[in-house]
Amino acid sequence: MTAHLLNRELSWLDFNRRVLALADEPGVPLLERLKFCAICSSNLDEFFQVRVAALKDQVAAGVTQPAPDGLSPQAQLAEIGAAADRFVIAQELVLDGLLEQLAAEGLRIVSWASLSDKDQKSLITQFEELMFPVLTPLAVDPAHPFPYISGLALSLAAMVSDPETGERRFARVKVPNVFPRLVVLPDGNRFVPVEQIIAAQLHRLFVGMVVEEHAVFRVTRNADLTLEDEEADDLLAAVEMELRRRRFGRAVRLEVQQGISDEMLELLVKELDLEMPDVTVHRHPLDLTCLFQLHALNRPKLKDKPWPPVTAGRLQRAEAQDRSIFSVIRERALMVHHPYESFASSVESFIAQAADDPRVRSIKMTLYRAGGDSPIARSLMRAAERGVQVAVLVELKARFDEATNVGWAKALERAGVHVVYGLVGLKIHAKTTLVVRQDDDGLRRYCHIGTGNYNSKTARIYEDVGFLTCDPEVGADVTELFNHLTGYSREVRFQSLLVAPRYMRGQLLDLIEHEMSFGAEGRIMAKLNSLADEEMIEALYRASQAGVRVDLITRGICCLRPQVPGLSENIHVRSILGRYLEHSRVVRFEHGERNGPLFLIGSADWMGRNLNGRVEVSVPVTHPKHQMWLDKALSLNLADDVVRHELDANGVWHRRGPVNFDEGDAQERFHRWVIETQKA
């Protein structure tokens, strides 16, 4: 236990506040700011579903052992509850300003009570035709127990009385998601929350009764998927069973709208087996992910100017010459930076060409988050159907994508793909593909190793780096990796790759130790999603004490405390956020190679779960042009004149850089540089 570590959960809440800060940046277009407000709500839902749920499980099991920062599970829950309340208040203050600006643009979210008779009649017609037939009131009485409230479902609670007997009953009406959450009025510019329309018509659901009061509420449940090792004999069936169980996870949070009576709130808290600290009270509509609906409006002046991805220059030339992507990779390795450079014309094209190429003998791939409509998965199926040997490691335990991945696993198997469902106790998080092709001079192995998922949708909004090569050493390593994952073998030492969980941690620690030998001339740069592993943090502290300059770009969690005299004064931590989700993992050691710096890209963050409990892969990037590209990306992220948040010794994040976001947008600058580079 070390007091100089920051708490993981509170650090994540700090990250979500930085996302909220984007919703309050005047240099960001209005509808994009609404989008960030919605993202904050979605993020917080997942945090309660998984992280808070896990802490509550620990408390229920009597666990009192503190986290590395010294906080017990119970103390963490208390801190999280207070922080969540502060966050809701801050988010609603930001939304107040956004709604005022939205009104100035002619767009309004309005209440039922503010509508004219004509508008109300229009909505009542919609209610009768579209809503009323699908609503199901559920009353609580001796014959009808308190209904099960599904996680994240929006609900109306009502207290209903019989005017003749005076008998009172509690009832719940679920707000179905089969119609829009924000119902548009005929003018196309005003929107009414659907729950307000239903609430105004509750008397239609309880004919002859008196609806004394109503309130909107929402329950968050434990949604983490846990599998016992003995279940893993049939991992597919185990995951499907666990997905069914997830619906009935324990309640961990109750959201209610301001104005709910004490009586109704106490009833909900009691029936859901919660406590008052588990409740958050909201002035604005619950579940602000409904703001995505406004972001989807066709109002281009209120949105980001599109940045169409470009096709990498070498691929452009190959396409013009009607050459395959394999010929490009044979010339030298190819590095692509998404979404600045197109995922479709690089990685998707690589898999599609492999699927259709008569020279290709086999394709192997890890699939962590394929997404709903996956061109890559369809290419793999097409290859298998024409007789290519295709093997895919589908990670069924990818959180919140389990059901999608189960569906793809079954579809791939039906097409003749050899599907492997991961390893007992490990998630396969590596992003790797191996294509074996019969070239004119013999069999050659073409590999893709990336920092992001093989997901066409997220590749348009996640910043990631991909590396395509036919280097024999890399090919041999990737072959050994797949043989280990699909077969039965002991891992061998890899020649080029860093592979977790067996080797990566030790190799990274050795590289940090080596950099320390150069003292003040040493430098480490690491761009990560999260940094929470205690051993890695302690190694960085030692590097700082040896004089090594350490620059960390951590988008999300950071448990390291920088700028502490005698401990970490040479460590600087910043976070870059923008229209793209910074997702790539890039590490640079100034003296990692005999003749210069070592660059690594890969799938692993520096967290215990990545280094100990997942199969992860990082690959060295050695070509001078690729290193120059990565240096440019890192330097723009580390510039003094870009908008960023910096972490201080007290664990507080501070916004730095130009007052106007659009004057210091690191991503916009890199986009311009990519365009200029491609033109050159």
Mean pLDDT by 10 residues, the chain (680 residues): 83 97 95 97 95 92 91 95 96 97 97 96 94 91 78 94 91 92 95 97 93 96 65 54 61 96 94 94 96 96 96 93 96 97 97 97 90 88 95 76 74 89 81 97 97 94 98 96 80 88 96 97 98 98 98 98 97 98 98 92 96 95 97 97 97 96 96 88
- CATH class given for the domain over 498-679: alpha beta
The pLDDT assigned to 231 comes to: 45
For 320-486, which CATH superfamily applies?
Answer: Endonuclease Chain A (3.30.870.10)
The pLDDT assigned to 516 comes to: 97
Neighbours of 117 (CB within 10 A): 7
The pLDDT assigned to 680 comes to: 63
- Tell me which H or E stretch contains 59: helix 53-60
By annotation, the residues acting in catalysis are 429
What is the residue extent of each domain of the chain? 1-105, 110-274, 320-486, 498-679
The beta-strand segments (E) located in 541-649 are 549-554, 571-575, 581-582, 585-593, 596-602, 614-621, 644-647
The pLDDT assigned to 230 comes to: 40
3 state SS for 645-676? EEECCCCCEEEECCCCHHHCCHHHHHHHHHHH
Neighbours of 187 (CB within 10 A): 9
Task: Choose which CATH entry (3.40.50.300, 3.20.20.70, 1.10.287.610, 1.20.58.310) describes domain 1-105.
Answer: 1.20.58.310
Buried b / exposed e over 598-625, threshold 16 CB at 10 Å, is bbbbbbbbbbbbbbeebbbbbbbbeeee
Two tokens at 400?
């919140």
- CATH class given for the domain over 110-274: alpha beta
Reduced to 3 DSSP states, what percent helix, strand and coil does the chain have, rounded to the nearest 5? 40, 25, 35
The pLDDT assigned to 1 comes to: 41
Nearest-angstrom CA–CA distance, 636 and 674: 12
Q: Which of 285, 288, 222, 277 is nearest to 256 (CA)?
A: 285
DSSP 3-state assignment of 178?
Answer: coil
Asked if 445 and 414 touch (Cβ cutoff 8 Å), the reply is no
Query: Is there a shared CATH topology between the 320-486 domain and the 498-679 domain?
Result: yes
Looking up tokens 């009385």, which residue turns up?
Answer: 161
